[in-house]
Amino acid sequence: MDITGTAAIVTGGASGLGAATAAALAAKDCRVFVFDLAAAIDSAQAVDGIEYVATDVTDPASVKVSVDRASSISGFPLRVVVNCAGIGPSARILGRGGVHDLDLYAKIVQVNLLGTFNVLAIAAEEIARSEPDEQGHRGIIINTASIAAYDGQIGQAAYASSKGGVVGLNLPAARDLAQYGIRVNTIAPGIVETPMLATLSEEFRSSLAAGVPFPKRLGKPDDYARLVLALIDQDYLNGEVIRMDGALRMAPR
């Protein structure tokens, strides 16, 4: 699918996976709209071709306003949506402080799963209004899960649940939106060098990298961005969840 002269939305694009993806799409002559919280946008780096829009992905009204803004300002058809927004606090079901806080569990699911679905649904409505290309393609939505959906570790009950929901959403979403010429795929990254991981010591990060079968390194945001571009380009890939983890299978802790 040719994305030159089209619009793209990247959630959580002020940093990490989303920032690398937004930059990669902008380099392909996409007009990119990054949806993120205002506080995150304040510290984001200015990049040509990227506009930052303060958005709460869990709020349907906020997402609708932002999608409408992206469509009206760009004047280009919306073809690409990449959902990278997410949070990952950890807590055990039974910890030193007692039972896992239900509000924390709900918050993680709300951002990671409900937020993903919210943007997917509202953006799909806009994409479906556009004219298809010669092959009937209107666009692609790429969601972000995690290998925690399959190999959730101790303390990841909420996070693994939310990402497992994203995996479960993938196929029915692809089937629902097929009639509109919209593909849906999901990337499940392993351990990636994001700003959060950068707070850990070099020694600890090296130990994490040593556990990856091959290549024996941590993932990089650019790895994710390149995979996004590949999914856009390969138009027969639909309804797929792709692990991006160097064959890593996580131990319990």
Q: What does the pLDDT look like over 156-200, one tens digit per residue?
A: 999 999 999 999 999 999 999 999 999 999 999 999 998 767 766
Question: What is the 8-class DSSP label of residue 248?
Answer: -
Q: Flag whether 214 is in a domain.
A: no
In total, how many domains does the chain have? 1
Residue 73 lies in a domain: yes
Is residue 75 in some structural domain?
Answer: yes
The H or E element that residue 165 is part of is helix 157-177
The answer to whether residue 116 sits within a structural domain is yes
Residues that are catalytic? 159
Q: Is residue 197 part of a domain?
A: no
* CATH code for the domain in which residue 115 is found: 3.40.50.720
pTM of the full structure = 0.95
Q: What is the mean pLDDT of residues 208-227?
A: 94
- φ and ψ at residue 98, rounded to 5 degrees: 110, -150
Residue 139: inside a domain: yes
Q: CB-based contacts of 172: which residues, under 8 Å, 6+ apart?
A: none
Q: What is the 3-state secondary structure (H, E, C) of 78-144?
A: EEEEEECCCCCCCECCEECCEECCHHHHHHHHHHHHHHHHHHHHHHHHHHHCCCCCCCCCCEEEEEE
Q: What is the pLDDT of residues 69-112, one digit of tens each?
A: 999 887 899 999 999 999 999 999 999 999 999 999 999 999 99
Name the residue range of residue 106's domain: 7-192+221-244
Amino acid at 118: N
How high is the pLDDT of residue 200? 62
